[in-house]
Amino acid sequence: MEEHHTIREPDSSSNEDVVSVRSPGEDSSCNGSIRKQELPSPVANSPVQGCDPFGQSQRSKLQNRRARINQQINKEMRMRAGAENLFRATTNNKIKETVALELSYVNSNLQLLKEELEDLNSNMEVYQTDSEVVNVPLIPLGLKETKEVDFSTPIQDFIHEYYGEDGLLYQKEIKELMDLRQAMRTPARNQTGLGLLMEYYNQLYFLDRRFLPPHENLGVHFHWYDSLTGVPSCQRALAFEKGSVLFNIGPLYTQIGARQDRSATAGIERAIDAFHRAAGAFDYLKDNFSNAPSLDMSGPALCMLVRLMAAQAQECAFERVALGPQDADLASLLRLAQEAAQVSDVYRLARRAMSQLPMKDYVPFSWASLVQVKSEHFRALSHYFAAVALCDRMVTHDSSEDTAEAEKALLHFYVSPCARPPLGQLLGDAKQRRKFGKAHLRHAVMRHEEAIRLHGVCKILRKMDTLQDVLVLAYKRSLDLYSELDREDDFEPTLEAPHIRPQSQQEPDMTLPSFVPVADLFQRLGPLSAFCARGRWGTARAICLPRSEGGLGLTLRGDSPVLVAGVAAGGCAEEAGLREGDYIMSVDGHDCKWAKHADVVSLLQMCGAREVRLAVVTPHNTQAGKRALVSRGKENAGGRPTLRVTKEQSSCDRRAAARGLAAAELSTQK
């Protein structure tokens, strides 16, 4: 299900963004909450189906520490704001000196807290797989933290004032909504956790339609912390809540992708899919939400994250090719070299996005360093595999190999065809191949040395033993092969290695979020098409219809809810105060908001000769000149009356009338 978000200018009385959301589907008869389904342990045994932030797992401890630091940063920033206001307001020099000293102390605390938070965000090994196979670590993102929100009073008051019902009757639904929000704060790293985030995001659509009239809000403050800096943001706009929840879908996918076992093809495929979905979530957020109050949801940050996710997906694609059967033929080795060059190229683009303002001072230094290390590392690998392809043909020449296939593989291998000798000479001359192979190895050794140097600059990367092992192993492998080719009697100058053309079989892709319909928690209020905050409702009225020989004197049309399409002049319905355009809420205490036309007719007929008690409500936009003008026409071929609706009829009435073309006039006799 695709949702369309339209960003409008903020209301003049508020500094917050106003978002209008339209969903193609409003079916409330879909699957129930994911929290009510059978869930795997340990989620199924928890009353709130998220991961326990106070649990003993390393990830839970990390998340708990991040939440604590975010709260401390929020406290220090409030203290700094108060001290700055006092400093500007006072004219007493002694007070200014005291406040300046306090500001210095607060700024020092803030700097220490931000450095501690950066260390937590740079703690990548916690999210990696436990496989014994050594892989280059991937970069996961931490979730945005948020404070608890109490929906009880605002929703109960709105139900009482707007829908005319007792808000206390909906305590169960409100509690379920608040439990869902609490659960999505700490989602598990699996499909269940993703389902919680998506379910709450979809419930916010219903919350918007049910309880937020145009240009108004619930009066609830939504507090969210920046995922990297911990800087708090607070707004009353539901758009901010929706955007933050959608943002967290991306980081959760990165954590799922980073934990996959990439020693098998199946794990690599899952990792690629996870990073594609993370990129899709960030790209969808970038295209549909604007004026973000926090930097992590700004356009430059989301563009940077999309590039980073694309690079990590490309890295996994290279690992998939390297994991496949290697028969040491020239074509497969050259393809592996081009895959490595492609990984280096996309990481270079991610590094460029990180180095531009305002991202330069925002992205953790460890992230930027790791991206640069990977760009150099995979560039070195591309030249290494190119050298192996050329030198392998020199040492173990297979006379049965098709020369045409080898020429085809080399034809588009280099960026500039002029950088290499003619294909026939390169394939047939062993000395020429050795010279080119040596040039590629020399460049590979230089790139490996640069990668190791960059790794040593960042103290956080120096703590990653896995990354250091991968870099050193690749460097020794290239250096050993170069030593074999570097003969003492070889006095010819070493060639400059040509640039390898980046190419991949993995198409760049982004998987947008799939908005699966969920059940509306507040469906007891009635069908959303009629009972929404976009319309204007009158006060609910109680009508007592006495029986007369001429019947009740009203015409009904439509379903869920049933519409009073006509009232007979001088009939008992008109005398009781029933009006054309009223919606029937109940008949003798039976709730009829979801009732079909035939069910309401049956309830009225069952009353027999006694009076009928109705509860009705009148939409304001159906009164006076905006009233629906419905008239009965001639019977059509199927024996059903026709329906004529003027252009002045409201949209709610048109939908209700269109569902009930088979109207029936009640003329039950005593």
Question: What span, in angstroms and rounded, lies between the C-alpha atoms of 654 and 645?
Answer: 7
Nearest to 445 by CA among 401, 494, 398: 494
Q: 494, 570, 496, 530: which is closest to 660 by C-alpha?
A: 530
Give φ, ψ of 150 to 5 degrees. -105, 110
Q: Is the dihedral of CA 94, 98, 104, 106 positive or negative?
A: negative
Contact status, residue 662 vs residue 555, Cβ threshold 8 Å: no
Angle at which helices 299-323 and 238-258 cross, to 10°: 20
Asked if 90 and 96 touch (Cβ cutoff 8 Å), the reply is: yes
CA angle, corner 380, sides to 376 and 383, nearest 5?
Answer: 145
Per-residue pLDDT of 511-534, as tens digits, reads 888 888 889 999 888 888 888 888
pLDDT tens readout for residues 215-263: 888 889 999 988 888 888 999 999 999 999 999 999 999 999 998 988 8
Is the separation of the CB atoms in 417 and 504 below 8 Å?
A: no
Under a CB-based contact definition with an 8 Å cutoff, are residues 594 and 604 in contact?
A: no
Task: List the single range of 23-37, 107-121, 244-258 with lowest mean pLDDT.
Answer: 23-37
The string of DSSP codes covering 337-356 is HHHHHHHHHHHHHHHHHHTS
Q: In a 3-state reduction of DSSP, which class is residue 88?
A: helix
Three-state DSSP state, 450: helix
Read off the pLDDT of each residue in 489-507 and give the average, rounded to a whole number. 77
Residue of 278 and 659 predicted with greater confidence: 278
Q: What is the pLDDT of residue 601?
A: 86
10 Å CB burial of residue 615 (0-12, 13-18, 19+) is buried
| pLDDT in the model for residue 101 | 85
Distance CA 125, CA 466 (A): 9
How far is Cα 393 from Cα 625, in angstroms, rounded to an integer? 88
Is residue 517 classed exposed, middle or buried when 0-12, 13-18 and 19+ CB atoms within 10 A define those classes? middle
Beta carbons within 10 angstroms of residue 141's beta carbon: 25
Q: Is 654 a residue whose pLDDT tops 50?
A: no
The neighbouring-strand residues paired with 614 are 543, 587
Distance (Å) of CA 661 to CA 78, 151, 564, 586: 61, 40, 13, 21
Give me the amino acid identity at 537: W
Rounded distance between C-alpha atoms, residue 233 and residue 520, angstroms: 28
Contacts of 54 (CB under 8 A, 6+ apart): 60, 64
Sign (positive or negative) of CA dihedral 370, 371, 372, 374: positive
Average predicted confidence (pLDDT) for the chain: 77
pTM for this structure? 0.75
The pLDDT-based confidence of 491 (bands split at 50, 70, 90) is: low
- Find the mean pLDDT for residues 442-466: 91
Burial of 492-501, coded b for 16+ CB within 10 Å and e otherwise, reads eeebebbebb
What is the rounded CA–CA span in Å between residue 58 and residue 238?
33
Q: What is the pLDDT of residues 331-386, one digit of tens each?
A: 788 889 999 999 999 999 999 999 998 898 889 888 999 999 999 999 999 999 98
The two structure tokens encoding residue 281: 């979530």
In this structure, which amino acid lies at residue 302? L
**Residue 552 pLDDT greater than 60, yes or no:** yes
Residue 400 has pLDDT above 80, yes or no: no
Q: How far apart are CA 264 and CA 135, in angstroms?
A: 12
Residue 530: the pLDDT is 82
The residues pairing with 414 across neighbouring beta strands, listed in sequence order, are 500
Radius of gyration of the chain (CA): 34
Look at residues 378, 331, 373 and name the one whose alpha carbon lies nearest to residue 354: 373
Q: What percent of the chain has pLDDT over 70?
A: 73
Residue bearing the bigger pLDDT, 52 or 510? 510
215-219 contacts at long range (C-beta below 8 A, 24 or more positions apart):
215/11, 215/18, 217/14, 217/16, 218/151, 218/154, 218/155, 218/158, 219/154
Q: What amino acid occupies position 216?
A: E
Phi, psi of 509 (to 5 degrees): -145, 150
Looking from the CA of 550 toward its CB, the CA atoms found within 13 Å total 10
- Sole residue written with tokens 């500007």: 88
Report the distance separating Cα 55 and Cα 47, nearest Å.
14
